[in-house]
Amino acid sequence: MKGKIRYFGTDGIRQKADAFTPGFIQAITLGIVRYLGNARETADGMERPVKVLLGGDTRESTEWILRNFEEALETVGIDHGNVGVLPTPAINYAFYQMGYDLAIDVTASHNPATDNGIKIFERGDSIGGLEAVMPGGVGFKGTGTTSSGQDLSHEIKKYPFGVKLSQAGVNAIENALENETGFDVGVVEFAEDLHADAKSRYLDHLKDYLEHIGPTTISDRQKPDFSKLKIGLDCADGATSVVAREIFEYFGANVEVIHDDSSYGENINKNCGSTHLESLIQLVKEKQLDFGAAFDGDGDRCLMVDADGTVIDGDDMVACIANYLGLPKVAVTIMANKGLLNWSKETGVELVMTDVGDQNVSAKMREDGILLGGEQSGHIILPGESMGDGILTALVMTKIYSETLARKQSEDQLILGYEAIQKAKAEEKEGVKSESTSSTDSGNVTLKSICSMLKKLPQTIKNQPVSHALKQVFRTNAEVAEEFIRQQTKELEKLNWSLNIRASGTEELVRVTIWGDDPERIRAKADEITEKLTLLEDLI
């Protein structure tokens, strides 16, 4: 296909929910048929129908979009299954494990309920050689043994995942959307509900991953114990509502969960989740929890808050996990806090920069063999994974916190024991009982403290709603946008500040990000720039 990509953005298709008409869904289905064909050859030379797995988040529109997909796929002869409400990483994992060729995830991620979208994943090791990179091809090396005695000394963990639809697949669907008007569908028998099977497979993956991951200095892999921790979870009334509480309680955590309605409706991301941390901060403080984790609507990102309400973002988590695993290199985007540059110099961890978007981070990781990457927004791509997984990220951070706390308490016990012996000797020698004192402080392990290796520089992000036309001006780097950015950048360079202006890939927004040395002044400057930006509406 020649020409501009009209429908696919940085994260699949994203638009108002009512735009996903039956005809629109049918055109996407025809594009999939043209890309995949109708059949696959089996190992014994026989043919089988192409298989597509469906799932999505909790938006009201997701339910009927999934139904429209089932009708369209059935009509064109593509075998299909439906897992219902599950996080995006779970759908990606399940389709691969269950032997499907493609996964269609109906979600608009962190967008409001009035929007919806489609993410498509394919088997990166089998689609016509177009994505001849094994998904999850960057793994982590195990050491020692598991709790069941399994030797990990030479094992490279690689988990089976799909990759986002290749450009050839995108082109096929874009072509169909431009040129097809849909087709008649008959009465169909809706696919068997595969929710329980897919969820079980995903939970097993989370359990296995958390037992295996750790620094190479740990000789024994065991089930983590979170029983001493009190944790708050905000599920954004989205897809993580069906999984988050269960997996954290499996590891023994005492959890307080808010915004965990898993039914189809209009509450997803509404003043909750990773884009609205206020209610989680309030919960953590009021309940005196150790920390909290907030997910977005489809569960591919996570932000955390410390006991005092401090926000722990993706940059913090990348630095923390890299330090924990002793990794030599990480991938982050150009939107990362500039404090990471200083962290890189101080620790020797190489910082590889990519364009914005978790798909760009993932691609760079596969290309360069990088084990960890992420975005400030909370998309963290962990070793062996092909995409961000909010729940898994929160679990790994909890494991790091738990191990740090246990290590500190163990050290405190050793100090107390030593002090007790010295005290007894002194009393015996002097014949006088001394006052009880202790030099330990086991209460100083916080989520903030385990991320303290990253010293952030002042930064502000201003999201400016704009018309679709103005967003396209910045998305395509039109001359008007380039000149505007050039003028604003030149002015900020005089202050030794940095500026990034870019169109959102998923919303009708232009984001203005400024890094500088004075929080109040950079916020004021961001307001000034966005005000100037709105004046461009009259020029297009």
Half-sphere exposure of 47 (CA within 13 A, CB side): 6
Pairing state between β 51-56 and 102-106: parallel
Q: What is the pLDDT of residue 136?
A: 37
Average pLDDT rounded to a whole number, residues 373-386: 93
Are the folds of 8-141+154-195 and 459-539 the same?
A: no
In this predicted structure, what is the pLDDT of residue 325? 92
First to last CA, the chain: 28
Q: Extract long-range pairs of 192-195: CB within 8 Å, 24+ residues apart.
A: 192/81, 192/82, 193/82, 193/83, 193/84, 194/53, 194/81, 194/82, 194/83, 194/94, 194/98, 195/82, 195/83, 195/84, 195/85, 195/86
Tell me how far the alpha carbon of residue 114 is from its chain's centroid: 22
The model's pLDDT over 32-61, given as tens digits with 9 standing for 90+, comes to: 999 998 777 777 777 888 999 999 999 999
Classified by CATH at the fold level, domain 459-539 comes out as TATA-Binding Protein (3.30.310)
pTM of the model: 0.84
CATH homologous superfamily, domain 8-141+154-195: Alpha-D-Glucose-1,6-Bisphosphate, subunit A, domain 3 (3.40.120.10)
Domain boundaries of the chain, sorted by first residue: 8-141+154-195, 459-539
Paired tokens of 337? 């806090």
Assign 137 a pLDDT band (cuts: 50, 70, 90).
very low
Distance separating alpha carbons of residues 267 and 285, to the nearest angstrom: 24
Q: What is the rounded distance in angstroms from the CA atom of residue 309 to the CA atom of residue 312?
A: 9
Tell me if 378 sits within 8 A of 296, measured CB to CB.
yes
| Three-state DSSP class for residue 99 | coil
What's the chain's Rg over C-alpha atoms?
A: 25
Average pLDDT over residues 129-143: 35
Q: Report residue 265 as tokens.
A: 């409706």
pLDDT higher than threshold 70 for residue 352: yes
Indicate if the pLDDT at residue 140 is higher than 80.
Answer: no
Q: Which of 43-47, 167-171, 392-396 has the highest mean pLDDT?
A: 392-396
Average confidence (pLDDT) over 99-128: 87
What pLDDT was estimated at residue 128? 31
Q: Which two tokens stand for residue 467?
A: 């018309």
Cα separation, 109 vs 297, in Å, equals 5
pLDDT band at 510 (very low <50, low <70, confident <90, very high): very high
The predicted pLDDT at position 517 comes to 86
Position 9 confidence tier, pLDDT thresholds 50, 70, 90: confident
Residues taking part in catalysis: 109
Query: Element (H or E) spanning 331, and its range?
Result: strand 329-333
Q: What is the mean pLDDT of residues 428-432?
A: 64
Average pLDDT (79-83) is: 95
More confident residue, 524 or 128: 524
Q: Is the pLDDT of residue 145 over 60?
A: no
Question: What's the CA gap between 162 and 139, in Å, rounded?
Answer: 15
For tokens 């030149």, name the residue: 490
Phi first, then psi: give them for residue 215, nearest 5 degrees: -65, 155
- Name the residue among 372, 320, 317, 322 with its Cα closest to residue 349: 322
Write down the mean pLDDT value for the chain: 86
Please check the confidence at residue 132 and state whether its pLDDT lies above 60: no
Give the model confidence (pLDDT) of 437-493 as tens digits: 444 444 588 999 999 999 998 999 999 999 989 998 888 888 889 999 999 998 888
Structure confidence by residue, pLDDT tens digits, 203-258: 999 999 999 898 865 555 688 999 999 999 999 999 999 999 999 999 999 999 99
Q: Which of 324, 330, 328, 336 is nearest to 450 (CA)?
A: 324
- Give the pLDDT band of residue 276 (cuts 50, 70, 90): very high
Burial of residue 329, with CB atoms counted within 10 A of its CB: 0-12 exposed, 13-18 middle, 19 or more buried: middle
Q: What is the mean pLDDT of residues 101-123?
A: 96
- Nearest-angstrom CA–CA distance, 294 and 88: 15
